Amino acid sequence: MNSDSWTADWADMIALVGRDLSDGATVWGADRVEAGTIRRFLEPLEIGAAIHCDADTARAAGYADLVAPVSSLLSFTIPPMWSPGDAPLFDGADANAQPLRSPIDNPNRGPAPPTSGFFATDMSIDFLRPVVVGERLGLRGRRLLSCVPKETAVGRGAFSTTETEIVSDQGDVVAVMRTGTYAYNPFGPDEGRKPK
């Protein structure tokens, strides 16, 4: 048996490169952009730009309210990961335990083969306009840009890149995000590549 035959399991996923893997619905963040969250974001980074911390200055500069730093926008798109009554986020404590729910792990992975490991590898975002207090942000679409099967030191799987829009409840796209991930099946303790 060819040791690379597992890569054929990814053929149906590779065939979808260029297509949107979502149902087109917008997944909204848990909360609206609000001043307290912006303040808590600014504090550890010691960002002192007045448009982020003084509403009068922001309005004098032409904004409707405080402006959220672009580096904070993704945090406003995350839906709740846990709510009262939900099962625990992790159902095990082993080294390869994965959260049962995660904003980066879409349960509808298309025709990709089943995998039990998953992590983000990289991200880039094009910011199109400032976001202000009071807006609600969400994620729309998941266009598959690439899917490359690869065996790594942790297991066998595929590196994929998807493109998603960050949208506002004002009705427009405020940013475009590209996210790289690696979905894989971990090697057992006696499997995998040996260090060189």
User: What are the structural domain ranges in the chain?
Assistant: 5-32+106-186
Residue type, 66: L
At 121-133, the pLDDT tens digits run 999 999 999 999 9
Token representation of residue 106: 């879409």
- Please give the backbone phi and psi of residue 17, each rounded to the nearest 5 degrees, phi first: -55, 130
Q: How far apart are CA 61 and CA 55, in angstroms?
A: 10
Provide the pLDDT confidence category of residue 38 given band limits of 50, 70 and 90.
Answer: very high
pLDDT of residue 62: 97
Provide the pLDDT confidence category of residue 91 given band limits of 50, 70 and 90.
Answer: confident
Token representation of residue 157: 């799987």
> What residues have CB less than 8 Å from 26, skipping those under 6 apart?
138, 139, 140, 167
Is the model more confident about 128 or about 89? Answer: 128
pLDDT of residue 181: 93
From the candidate CATH numbers 3.40.50.620, 3.40.50.10800, 1.10.287.4070, 3.10.129.10, the one assigned to the domain spanning 5-32+106-186: 3.10.129.10
The whole-chain average pLDDT of the chain stands at: 90
At 135-163, the pLDDT tens digits run 999 999 999 999 999 999 999 999 999 99
Q: How far apart are CA 176 and CA 167, in angstroms?
A: 9
pLDDT of residue 24: 87
Query: Rounded mean pLDDT of 169-184?
Result: 96
